[in-house]
Amino acid sequence: MAAEKFNALKGFSVGIPAIDVIDSNGNIVTNVVVPSGNVTANKVYANHYYYANGTPFSSDPAGTNTEVQFNNNGVLGASANFTFNTTTQTVSVSNFSASGNLVNLGNVDNLQIDGGLNGYVLQTDGAGNLSWTAQTGNGGGGNGVPGGSNTQIQFNDSGSFAGSPYMTFNKSDNKVNFAGEVTANVFTMGSGSFEFRTSEICIANTTSTSNIELCQTPVEDLAALDYVIIATDEFSGKRQYLNINAVYYNTDVVYNETSALYIGGLVTDYDLTYVPGDVFLPARIVLWVTPATTNQITYKIMVQRYRD
């Protein structure tokens, strides 16, 4: 049997000189080396490899050591901004984006974000952008640590959390304790169904002798009213102190003036009436005043409303 030449087979050329691969006895010849060619009998070598469409093929990884591989327009790609360290089992990426609503980063103890200083926190600008910022408060109760001692209510003390033994809350009996002064424009005794009395302040001025409305109180859930009025006419050197007690029920209001005190003479006269509601204002009790002079008179009034 004649030897067959392995340089052409049905029109496909391996590009090497004709070499006997089967001897005259019919045995396959192995380990035939052709120094000037690219193929041996048991291995194939080539300067370049190509896909069937002619695109060059390379099995070598792109980039440098530790860079993660990805499809870069049909070929292997890599970037120094996306790496994997086999020693620390750490993936590093300069920018991260997730299309899902939840990204599980595992235990927070295993999470590390570069940047920021000790005590800094991440804050958002409302558009999804994060930045490091100093935690409000520092030392003596800063960095989210309560100031003062147990039960002491917290307040901002020059940028730090602080507490005081004069302002405490006992959760066992739901009691707030203030050992100092409490200042408020409106103060209510009782809460919810236990609400009973609300105290509020009204300030007014007049420069006329006409009947003038000083203040008004809606009658919804109203049972009674107390007024403490101090009227001062600085121009004529007069001051008047007066209490008015009133009771209200079903559009009727009855009142009485008590404890009237004067310095320098009469300053004003008062009247109290019920005014029905309209499309603009609810039904209400109105305190009217008729000044004795056209001088500027200042009124400081404490109104105490008692709930029905």
Note the pLDDT tens digit of each residue in 162-218: 999 999 999 999 999 999 888 888 999 998 899 999 999 999 999 999 999 999 999
More confident: 126 or 32: 126
Res 282: pLDDT: 94
Q: CATH number for the domain including 260? A: 2.60.40.1680
What total of structural domains would you count in the chain? Answer: 2
Note the pLDDT tens digit of each residue in 85-118: 999 888 888 877 776 666 777 777 777 777 878 8
- The mean predicted confidence, pLDDT, of the chain is 84
Q: Which residues of 169-194 are buried (b: 16+ CB within 10 A; e: fewer)?
A: eeeeeeeeeeeeeeeeeeeeeeeeee
* Measured distance between the N- and C-terminal CA atoms of the chain, rounded to whole angstroms: 124
- Tell me: do 245 and 151 sit in the same domain: no
| Residue 33 scores a pLDDT above 50 | yes
SS3 content of the chain, % helix, strand, coil (to 5): 0, 45, 55
| Residue 270 scores a pLDDT above 90 | yes
- pTM for this predicted structure: 0.54
- Tell me: do 218 and 300 sit in the same domain: yes
Residue carrying the six token digits 């009247």: 271
List the one residue out of 124, 164, 117, 165 whose CA is nearest residue 143. 117
- The confidence band for 12, taking pLDDT boundaries of 50, 70 and 90, is very low
Residue carrying the six token digits 């070929």: 75
Distance, CA of 297 to CA of 204 (rounded, Å): 8
Res 39: pLDDT: 46
286 with 275: CB under 8 angstroms? yes
End residue of a domain, out of 180, 200, 229 = 180
- DSSP category for residue 237: T
- The confidence band for 223, taking pLDDT boundaries of 50, 70 and 90, is very high
What value does the mean pLDDT take over residues 9-35?
A: 58
* Angle at 202 (CA atoms; ends 199, 208), nearest 5 degrees: 150
Residue 248 lies in a domain: yes
- The confidence band for 272, taking pLDDT boundaries of 50, 70 and 90, is very high
Residue 36 lies in a domain: no
Res 135: pLDDT: 67
| Residue 66 scores a pLDDT above 60 | yes
- Is the CA virtual torsion 96, 98, 101, 104 positive or negative? negative
The domain in which residue 149 lies consists of 119-180
Q: Which two tokens stand for residue 294?
A: 């056209």
| Residue 146 scores a pLDDT above 70 | yes
| Residue 61 scores a pLDDT above 70 | yes
289 with 268: CB under 8 angstroms? yes
